[in-house]
Structure 1
């Protein structure tokens, strides 16, 4: 790949452009928002000028409702040889592309599963997709050369490709992304009705549950509308669970104490299923089927004790649980595992102690990148 065009210079589009430019790909930036375009170009993401000839690939980074029309317009203008997009919904945009007469032989749907709480080109980073899943949704009419070009794009961004049919993708993200966003928004909306003293008591649990509710409301309305067929049934099922929970709690307030057994059993069963579901995405280190922890090496300053205390506070603020921690050898020669070393760290393949002046944090693989970003934002040197 020698050339690319990125249409849409928000967080995802600019991050892709930064990654491609860093790998030596001549990248052209296109956006109707001139300010966003100017910022992305100033950050070194590419040139804010259209190409003089068709580029190898065009990445369409616009909301789902704009995907098909944008592809149709740029195909008519012969912007690129191959097209892909980054929308979190795949089936509807593809159907709309067919309706508009787009050439779908050179089109590969895409969805990088990465992001940040902050949006816009200022929050973009070239390593945003490092080791993150990037779903591609080729269809029967997709040419082999187009798919290979999209796979090359994923590789240049250091992401991990996953191939799915568009409907399978949409059902998956409805479960793991769109439904949680709706629940976070509905929970956060309850805060509008809360007393001031109650809101002031909100801690990390409420912040964790409602974090994604801070996303752009208009963009998320667009996403949910595009994936309504997959999200709707999940909400119907969830509504039944909520009703069952409310009924159990109602019986606990209305029935006599000797009749509480059945209601408590129902409530316990609902919560137990939640335990089991959570266990499918958060297997404790050391249990069957668990992945080995990822290791982050963090440089400490001269005052190691004070620096370590601050580091652990920052890890806590990032809402990440440590699997273990390995400290460097202490000056008197004691083994590192004797110093504030979690059992999980000792089991981690007899790790060599980190070099003097640094500490090794062991975390679940899926939180390694978010924790790295959070600590770097706080000024820590992490690798």
Structure 2
């Protein structure tokens, strides 16, 4: 599928904020001829129909799933594996599957047997949950992480990657465990920190009187759906525990620096430099990439092997594209950050027998 292709029938399994936003974006861009919503709540489905998010509503799985060309699993993280397995029991072998869960390792492992499943996570959202707050613009220029495994076919990855780009997002490919370690620090740790801070305020009404805009901004994520947020951090508890240990060490270091003002000043300067250098989402131009083209055989495990060789060396794959697939094989484009990354990746892959060429 290229970015101009459309799906006949798309299933949004779990019609909430992200699932609803995917549905709206696909409908607005004419990427689907029909969008079906599957949800356990009839009220959610009625709202989704009334808002024009979906074309048809379903409360239960059944033989009707044989008409579905694309399944987007967008239920809470803890429910995704069972939901995916149940749906896969009714779909065709060529039906494409992806998900939008914020934790990837358990989902990727649980659904590894599902044909054409590509785990994914759009890094987008809001503290306001529910289909009522869905908007297609939420996905525009969002980073969308794809986490293929050894069981992920190159063809399925290519199709999902093309869909992500057609939705206006920026795909990045990495192993599931690498994704979970990263989001534990940049997403799940801030949520837990927000809980701790708001609990302190809740237990001392004097603090609530003084909690102004800065405090509200810092603790915004605590306003998210409690059950979904709980499931999110529990499903990633091992990686989150490691992030919490690092966070405690940072707090202890800062506490010690209260006695050394010059060190605390330098810590503040370092934090300002880091915070000021964080990228701002732009609506037009994405950062340039340096490309490495890798010739591959079309057989299970090849994509996982390539990403592991590069990832274990600490080289970040910013995006990936399957350029061609034939019976004899094809080629994959790795989008890397720097020319040095290209040369390092080339050396590692060629040492393993791959044929490569660069395209800067």
Residues 352-371 of structure 1: pairs in structure 2 closer than 5 A? none
In 2, Cα distance between the equivalents of 1:45 and 1:152?
Answer: 22
Deviations 1:288-317 (A, max 9, x none): xxx98979xxxxxxxxxxxxxxxxxxxxxx
Deviations 1:35-76 (A, max 9, x none): 111111111122114746332210000122111111111111
Compute the displacement of 1:157 (Å). Answer: 2.0
What SS does structure 1 have at the residue aligned with 2:146? strand
Residues 193 and 294 of structure 1: CA distance in aligned 2, closer, same or farther (over 3 Å)? farther
Verify: 1:169 aligned to 2:175, yes or no: no
Question: TM-score, normalization: structure 1?
Answer: 0.65
Residues 245-264 of structure 1: pairs in structure 2 closer than 5 A? 245-249=254-258, 263-264=260-261
Aligned to 2:234: 225
- Check the 8 A contact 2:98/2:117 in 1, yes or no: yes
Pairs aligned (count): 271
In 1, Cα distance between the equivalents of 2:106 and 2:282?
Answer: 38
Compute the displacement of 1:96 (Å). Answer: 2.5
- Check the 8 A contact 1:5/1:30 in 2, yes or no: yes
Compute the displacement of 1:20 (Å). Answer: 1.5
Deviations 1:94-137 (A, max 9, x none): 22334xxx32x411001011112211011011222011111111
Aligned to 1:7: 13
In 1, Cα distance between the equivalents of 2:283 and 2:65?
Answer: 48
Relative contact order (alpha carbons < 8 A, sep ≥ 6): 1 or 2 greater? Answer: 2
Task: Give 1:180's match in structure 2, choosing from 190, 194, 208.
Answer: 190
Aligned to 1:349: none
Deviations 1:162-215 (A, max 9, x none): 11111121122112111111112211211113334x422322111111111111
What SS does structure 2 have at the residue aligned with 1:115? coil
Aligned to 1:136: 146
What SS does structure 2 have at the residue aligned with 1:93? helix
Aligned to 1:29: 37
Residues 203-282 of structure 1: pairs in structure 2 closer than 5 A? 203-249=212-258, 263-281=260-278
- Gap runs ≥5 in structure 1: 252-262, 284-290, 296-383
Task: Give 1:17's match in structure 2, choosing from 12, 16, 23.
Answer: 23
Aligned to 2:46: 38
Verify: 1:78 aligned to 2:91, yes or no: yes
In 2, Cα distance between the equivalents of 1:48 and 1:97?
Answer: 24
Deviations 1:215-257 (A, max 9, x none): 12221221111112221111111112222333444x5xxxxxx
- Check the 8 A contact 1:19/1:156 in 2, yes or no: no
- Check the 8 A contact 1:108/1:146 in 2, yes or no: yes
Flag the structure with larger Rg: 1
Residues 294 and 144 of structure 1: CA distance in aligned 2, closer, same or farther (over 3 Å)? closer
Residues 93 and 71 of structure 1: CA distance in aligned 2, closer, same or farther (over 3 Å)? same
In 2, Cα distance between the equivalents of 1:293 and 1:160?
Answer: 11
In 2, Cα distance between the equivalents of 1:33 and 1:242?
Answer: 43
Compute the displacement of 1:32 (Å). Answer: 0.5
The structure where strand makes up a greater share of residues is: 2
Aligned to 1:154: 164
In 2, Cα distance between the equivalents of 1:225 and 1:264?
Answer: 38
Worse-matched range after superposition: 266-275 or 128-137: 266-275
Question: TM-score, normalization: structure 2?
Answer: 0.69
In 2, Cα distance between the equivalents of 1:204 and 1:106?
Answer: 46
Residues 156 and 204 of structure 1: CA distance in aligned 2, closer, same or farther (over 3 Å)? same
- Check the 8 A contact 2:128/2:223 in 1, yes or no: no
- Check the 8 A contact 2:108/2:149 in 1, yes or no: no
Aligned to 2:69: 56
Aligned to 1:199: 208
